[in-house]
């Protein structure tokens, strides 16, 4: 537990430093929070296969023209939770995307929620509708405009 906590703190610190540098170089960039998931894995073997498959699918997703044309960069974290009812594993990715401001301004640049699901399904090559949830990160209630304040 302490090891995981220390790792999380180190990763958080490193992520903040990266974000600070991006903000310096691209002050008008916008930030999105994307969660990607697939069907639960029933056991450890399926979980390992699913995690590898998700990683490959994410690499495809980020290369699709509609995604990469405004993508500046991203931070990705994979999380696995256990369903207490049946013991299955819910594997999902949390992705912080940094995009050009044109993503929200120019016609044809913005990707709707349903399109994210379509793109994720295509990347996964599955016959069901996987979960893809996208949210724009906005300034917090105090009026802070920087990404560091918004992701606290």
> Could you tell me if 29 and 101 are in contact, meaning their C-beta atoms sit under 8 angstroms apart?
yes
Q: Which domains does the chain have, with CATH numbers?
A: 28-150 (3.30.70)
Please write the tens of the pLDDT for every residue from 45-82.
Answer: 999 999 999 999 999 999 999 999 999 999 999 999 99
Measured from the Cβ of residue 93, the count of other Cβ atoms closer than 10 Å reads 21
106, two tokens: 């120019």
Q: Please give the C-alpha separations between residue 118 and each of 35, 37, 66, 98, in angstroms, as whole numbers.
A: 14, 13, 12, 20
DSSP 41: B
pLDDT tens for each residue of 93-144: 999 999 999 999 988 899 999 999 999 999 999 999 999 999 999 866 555 5
Say yes or no to pLDDT of 150 above 70.
no
What HEC string does 89-125 produce? EEEEEEEEEEECCHHHHCCCCCCCHHHHHHHHHHHHC
Provide the whole-model pTM: 0.85
Report the C-alpha gap between 124 and 37 in whole angstroms.
10
Which of helix, strand or coil describes residue 85? coil
> pLDDT: is 20 or 150 the higher one?
20
Residue 71, by phi and psi: left (phi above 0), alpha (psi -120 to 50) or beta? beta
Mean pLDDT of the chain: 88
Q: What is the pLDDT of residues 1-48, one digit of tens each?
A: 566 666 677 777 788 888 888 889 999 999 999 999 999 999 989 999
DSSP bridge partners of 89: 41, 82
Band (pLDDT 50/70/90 cuts) for residue 92 is very high
Do 136 and 32 form a contact (C-beta atoms < 8 A)? Answer: yes
């Amino acid at each position: 537990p302490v090891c995981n906590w220390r790792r999380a703190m180190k990763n958080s610190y490193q992520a903040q430093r990266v974000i600070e540098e991006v903000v310096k170089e691209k002050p008008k960039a916008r930030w999105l929070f994307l969660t990607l998931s697939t069907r639960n894995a029933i056991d450890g073997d399926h979980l390992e296969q699913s995690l590898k498959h998700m990683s490959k699918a994410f690499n495809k997703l980020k290369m699709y023209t509609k995604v990469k044309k405004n993508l500046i960069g991203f931070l990705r974290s994979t999380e696995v939770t256990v369903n207490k009812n049946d013991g299955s594993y819910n594997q999902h990715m949390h992705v912080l995307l940094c995009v050009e401001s044109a993503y929200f301004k120019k016609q044809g640049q913005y990707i709707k929620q349903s399109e994210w699901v379509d793109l994720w399904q295509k990347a996964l090559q599955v016959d069901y509708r996987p979960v893809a949830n996208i949210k724009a990160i906005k300034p917090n209630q105090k009026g802070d405009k920087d990404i560091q304040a918004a992701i606290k």
